[in-house]
Structure 1
Amino acid sequence: MADYTIRVYQNRDYNAVRMLFAEGMLEHIPATCTYLLKLPRAQFVLFISFITLLLISGSYLLSLVSLAVVFTGGRRLLTSEYHKYVDTCQREDLLDIEESYMASNNSSFWVVETGGRVIGMVGVQSVPRSSQVMVLKRLSVAKDRRHQGIASALCQKAMDFARQRGYKVLSLETSMIQFAAHKLYEKLGFEKTDDKIVPSLIGRFSNFSTLTYEYRIKD
């Protein structure tokens, strides 16, 4: 029997929800860094940088130290990009969760609670000027409570909500490095429908993309 409860968002959950979202997003920094370092173009840039520094300084040690500085700077830039994204989201729909998700009959937000602690969340919103498509957003589960069926239960809650309101499609976006999320969505019956490069310097350099998944709701 599950030791948690899925319930509708309340104002007292505000800080916990924003923190859970931020923690979940910032967890992706190491995986993104690994992805970037595996890219041939990134390895080429690092190699050329090392050779150039070696030719200028004539010192292997100084070149390696300088390369480490370059790597550290790149990681800080990546970290800054993630923090900017979190800040943007927290100034948009997560700034006023009541208004963004609870003010309409065709949107909602749920949290997962256990022992007074919020360990998961998900929201849904209708697409403006559409009676067919609803969007799943902000799905997140605390790191120490994953692989327990919570994310699946939250997705099912969103799917049922969309079905009850007569929507035909439940759509979502996720990053290319969130492999566990991809497996979850595909297991639940979502299909990948789009793949878009992130419109940033790092995104264009690395071909880092966001994927769109859609679930076709059956009557």
Structure 2
Amino acid sequence: MADYTIRVYKNRDYNAVRMLFAEGMLEHIPATCAHVLKLPRAQFVLFISFITLLLISRSYLLSLVSLAIVFTLGRRLLTSEFHQYVESCQRDDLLDIEESYMASNNSCFWVAESNGRVVGMVGVVPRSSEVMLLRRLSVAKDKRHQGIANALCHKVIDFARQRSFKALTLETSMVQVASHKLYEKLGFQKTDVRVFPSLFGRFANFSVLTYEYKLRH
């Protein structure tokens, strides 16, 4: 039997929701870093940096240490990119969740609660007169693989179907592989892939995937 319940968002959930979103996004930094290091252009930059440092210093040890510093700075820049994205979201719809999701009959926000703790969240808003947008799906790391994300998605699907919308859409990043598997298992179809619109996104070829779910009535 599930040890969680799903309910509509309340004002007292505000801080927990914002923290859960931040934790969920920032945990993708290592996977993104690994992706960047596999890119030929990133490997070329590191190689050229090492050779340049070696020619200048004539010391393998100093060159390796300097290369480690370059890598550390790169990871910090990547971490900064993620933090900036989180902060932009927290200044956007997550700044006033009541206004963003609870003020309209065609939008809503739910949380999954376990033993008095918010362990999952998801929101939905209209994208057009026929399509709804699923947003901010996140589940606490220690509560995954218990069906919470699946249940939250079904809550959104039922909500959109009850309001006679024709489709449900969402966006997710390329490194959120577990999410891709969940959406595809639920019946979502990938409809678009685009590069994240930032300097980092273009350099790392970091893509955002769009999925769509056709609603049957």
Deviations 1:35-83 (A, max 9, x none): 0011111111101110111011100011001101100000000000000
Q: Which runs of at least 4 in structure 1 moved beyond 4 Å after TM superposition?
A: none
Structure 2 counterpart SS, 1:166: coil
Q: What does residue range 3-82 of structure 1 map to in structure 2 within 5 Å?
A: 3-82=3-82
TM-score by length of 1: 0.98
Alignment-derived partner of residue 186 in structure 1: 184
Give ranges in structure 1 of 5+ residues lacking alignment. none
Alignment-derived partner of residue 152 in structure 1: 150
Aligned CA-pair RMSD: 0.5
Deviations 1:65-115 (A, max 9, x none): 110110000000000000000000000100000000000000000000011
State the identity as a percent. 78
TM-score by length of 2: 0.99
Which of 198, 205, 213 matches 1:215? 213
Residues matched between the structures, number? 217
Alignment-derived partner of residue 175 in structure 1: 173
Q: What does residue range 87-102 of structure 1 map to in structure 2 within 5 Å?
A: 87-102=87-102
Give the aligned residue type for 1:117: R
Structure 1 counterpart SS, 2:149: helix
Give ranges in structure 2 of 5+ residues lacking alignment. none
Give the aligned residue type for 2:95: L
Aligned-partner Cα distance in 1 for 2:196–2:121: 25
Alignment-derived partner of residue 205 in structure 1: 203
